[in-house]
Structure 1
Amino acid sequence: MPLIDRDDSALVIIDVQSNFYPPTRLDVDRQRFQEMVRRIAWITSVADRLAVPVVVTEEDPAVSGHTVAEIREALPAKAVTLAKNAFAVWDNPGIAAAIEATGRTTMVLVGIETDICVAHSAIQLHDAGKRVVVIDDAAYSPGRAHDRGLRRVTGQGIETLSTKELFYDWVRTIECADTFHDTHRDLTPPPGVRL
């Protein structure tokens, strides 16, 4: 597979909402969840500065709340946020239209839950002819469900990358990476991402 081309990429942030998980469900995985949120906020900021379009989904926002503040604050002005009623983003006509409107064919997926909404979205987008990449350290399901979701998508021929790998695919050269870091000193890499 070729490297991920930022000029053909759209970032799809799936359901990282304030009330999606009751606090008791996060007791064991709270740190992993918070690190995922920080990575997504950072990827979103990088996407904004590299002119990568961003589509955000919110599953049943009346119950699950809206996108968490840390990510919402990083969204580009042109980002589109849409309610999601089917688990796969592609099965929601408004979201599918927003994805098509980006004009991009490589979909970079982050969010929750890895084994359901992220997996369903990845599979449906892949079946629709898109190149799909799931950022494995910027997706989340509690416990072993995360690994099961990643196994399912890779079994379908869908790529997985880390946040670090995505960044370097998008910038491609030492000069571009150095220029990005010099220009955007405010973007401190998130936990677990050594650039």
Structure 2
Amino acid sequence: MTYHFKPADAALLLVDYQVGTLQLANATPAYEALRNAVVLAKAAKVLGMPIVLTASQEDHVQGPTHDWFSRVLPEEFEQRVLRSGVINAWQDRACRGAVEKTGRKQLIIGAITTDICLVLPAISAHEAEYEVQAVMDASSSPYRINEEISRHRLDRGGVEMTVTNTIVAELTQD
């Protein structure tokens, strides 16, 4: 299955880019995954795509959302969905509602941990009949085995995997 994403049909979901959670990113260095998420955010902003930013329990070990997003996405940062601990962001009514409110059926997802923050909502969104592209270099796992198993689950779950440069080029076209 290959999707052809267009800015007019797509939304961007960025899940849990929090300072504590970033410490779990090892398969791809945390800085690289964060930088790629910011590239996605900037591209989506320029292309006029809706962006949903979410965080889980910012007042706990996960910590606050990284401050780069407050500078790059000031409105979205202020309106970010603050989850109370629901692990699968898609199962959080406010997060899913924010995505549904965009009216877009193509969903690009970046999430700091591949094995939790990306796999679960990406597969759930696909099951909810969204076309989903998971941006693999904007996420990471604590260990390589977590990353490998997560990629296998995404593939078997019908989620298209991509990388930042490819999805930005696909969206930009010219």
Structure 2 length-normalised TM: 0.89
**After TM superposition, where is structure 1 displaced by more than 4 Å over at least 4 residues in a row?**
none
1:82 aligns with 2:81: yes
Taking a change above 3 Å as real, the CA distance of residues 42 and 155 of structure 1, as seen in their structure-2 partners, is same
Given the alignment, which residue of 42, 45, 64 partners 1:66? Answer: 64
Counterpart amino acid of 1:59?
A: S
Contact 1:48 / 1:76 at 8 angstroms: preserved in 2?
no
Counterpart in the other structure of 2:159 = 158
1:35 aligns with 2:32: yes
Contact 2:11 / 2:104 at 8 angstroms: preserved in 1?
yes
Percent of residue pairs bearing the same amino acid type: 24
Taking a change above 3 Å as real, the CA distance of residues 16 and 8 of structure 1, as seen in their structure-2 partners, is same
Higher Rg of the two aligned structures = 1
CA deviation after TM superposition for structure 1 residue 41, in Å: 0.8
Counterpart in the other structure of 2:115 = 115
1:125 aligns with 2:125: yes
CA RMSD of aligned residues (A): 1.8
1:13 and 1:30 map into 2 onto residues whose CA distance is 19
1:13 and 1:55 map into 2 onto residues whose CA distance is 6
Structure 1 length-normalised TM: 0.80
Q: Deviations over 1:127-185 (max 9, x none)?
A: 11111110011111122112221211111111011111101111112xxxxxxxxxxxx
Q: Which moved more, 1:128-137 or 1:31-40?
A: 31-40
1:39 and 1:55 map into 2 onto residues whose CA distance is 16
1:54 aligns with 2:55: no
Q: Relative contact order, CA 8 A, sep 6+: which one is greater?
A: 2
SS of aligned partner of 1:38: helix
Taking a change above 3 Å as real, the CA distance of residues 159 and 62 of structure 1, as seen in their structure-2 partners, is same
